[in-house]
Amino acid sequence: VTSYWLERAWTPDGTVDGLRVDVHDGVLTKVEPGQPDGAIRLAGLTVPGLANCHSHAFHRALRGRTQRQRGTFWSWREQMYDVAARLTPDLYHELARATYREMVSVGITSVGEFHYLHHQQDGTPYSDANEMGHALVEAACEAGIRLALLDTCYLAAGIGRPPEGVQVRFSDGTAEAWAERVESADRAWRDHRVRVGAAVHSIRAVPRDQMKHVVAWADDHYAPLHVHLSEQVAENEACLAAYATTPTGVLEEVGALGPRTSAVHATHLTDADVVRLGRTRTNACFCPTTERDLGDGIGPSRRLHHAGAPLTLGSDSHAVVDLFEEMRAVELDERLASQSRGHWPAAELLEAATHQGHRSLGFDRVGRIEVGAAADLVTLDTASARTAGTGADECTAVFAASGADVVSVLRDGVDVTQDVADVGVELDRVVRRIWESR
Ligand SMILES: [Zn+2]
């Protein structure tokens, strides 16, 4: 048993001073007020580990590059495909490890990796069809982050159009072939603290009659199911033309909505879509810094919450990796859209970034500082230039802090704190290698 003394902590009972916690086998076995003697001191404000519920690790190579020459959505997509075409299992592993280390450095202890880069450059599978997935599992292991590998079915360039160009790397041909590959991945990784989940890339990339196989696999394994939903207006228009209903309507028809499901973005929704997502308790995974970067729009986060759809957060394209920024962006974007303040209390945003996020990845016992939960503890400096004088409570975490204020990270009781300078060197090296390859 290892004992920690938290100078100040955000718990289900609010912010408390002087909390003594015992950790046994990665789990919190005692959480009560106490004295620091004999315990490891964590000075500052400690919050539960953060969950980054939507990541494409390889997009990290695009930061600061896709914004050149103004950077439209289409120039972004071209560069994204360029990187996707260059990656070998080796480069994918190295980039993902550096990206996950960046995440850990800002207090993220679980990541949901929306993984669709499955096959070789010409579309044929590697001798082990899950070689690219293995690269991610190893990367997560080495970085010390908990991984939900959301293996993504991607079969089409658009509704009724076969994969084009680099997209052949993404496609298994049919959803049944996808399920077969994922089944063997699930068997291989079950013992490695990896949660294998399912993903439908989008209603554009998986034909409606194929979706049922993905949904069935997730149901059979009681696994998380993630899907990009209504990120852009054009997607809704194509869907209405082909299926005479919205993307949310299609997901409802194929039985894809529910509390194990996360609708990623959920930006352009009808009133009926909000009701459908809320009634089924589908998670709404917002990625505000990416949605901002791509010019997607502002989704109805608070209306979804009122309807019953819990909020979760992701950094998606990694234009920014900082869940503190994502948390406040949800409220600040609502303010801009509504021209009024006060939609989300800070505590609810922190709950979305911690417990609710982990739950949506299939990690039910992670994300709270309470007995029986995983010992994921993230400590913030409350005396930095950003945080000093802010009260050191949940409002500090949500409206003042940045990832740079994270001074200590425990995942399952293991100290995974990163040396930030070191992470920078590793990122620089691998991103250069990628752009210089070929
Ligand atoms: Zn995405």
Q: How far is CA 186 from CA 93, 146, 191, 223, 405, in A?
A: 19, 15, 9, 10, 36
| pLDDT value, residue 192 | 67
Ligand 1 centroid, distance to 228 Cα (angstroms): 6
SS3 annotation, 159-204: CCECCCHHHHHCCCCCHHHHHHHHHHHHHHHHHHCEEEEEEECCCC
pLDDT at 74: 77
Q: Helix (H, G, I), strand (E, B), or coil: what is residue 374?
A: strand
**8 A C-beta contact, residue 104 and residue 409:** yes
Please tell me the distance from the alpha carbon of residue 333 to that of residue 335, in angstroms, as a whole number. 5
Percent of the chain with pLDDT over 90: 95
Cα dihedral 248, 251, 257, 262 sign: negative
- 110-147 pLDDT, tens per residue? 999 999 999 999 999 999 999 999 999 999 999 999 99
CA 279 to ligand 1 centroid distance, Å: 24
Stated as kind and residue range, the H or E segment containing 24 is: strand 14-24
Three-state SS at 387:
coil
- The 10s digit of each residue's pLDDT in 21-79 is 999 999 999 999 999 999 999 999 999 999 999 999 999 999 999 888 777 777 888 89
Instruction: Give me 107's structure tokens.
Output: 């207090």
Ligand 1 centroid to residue 264 C-alpha, Å? 7
Measured in angstroms, how far is the CA atom of residue 376 from the centroid of ligand 1?
A: 25
Task: Give the residue from 73, 82, 86 showing the smallest Cα distance to 120.
Answer: 86
Give the mean pLDDT of the chain: 96
Ligand 1 centroid from CA 265, angstroms: 8
Taking the centre of ligand 1 as the mean of its atom positions, its distance from the CA of residue 53, in whole angstroms, is 10
- Write out the DSSP string of 327-372: HHHHHHHHHHHHT----S-HHHHHHIIIIIHHHHTT-TT-S-SSTT
Asked if residues 319 and 57 have their Cβ atoms less than 8 Å apart, the reply is no
Pairing of strands 283-286, 311-313: parallel
Please list the active-site residues: 265, 316
164-218 confidence digits (pLDDT tens): 999 999 999 999 999 999 999 999 988 767 999 999 999 999 999 999 999 999 9
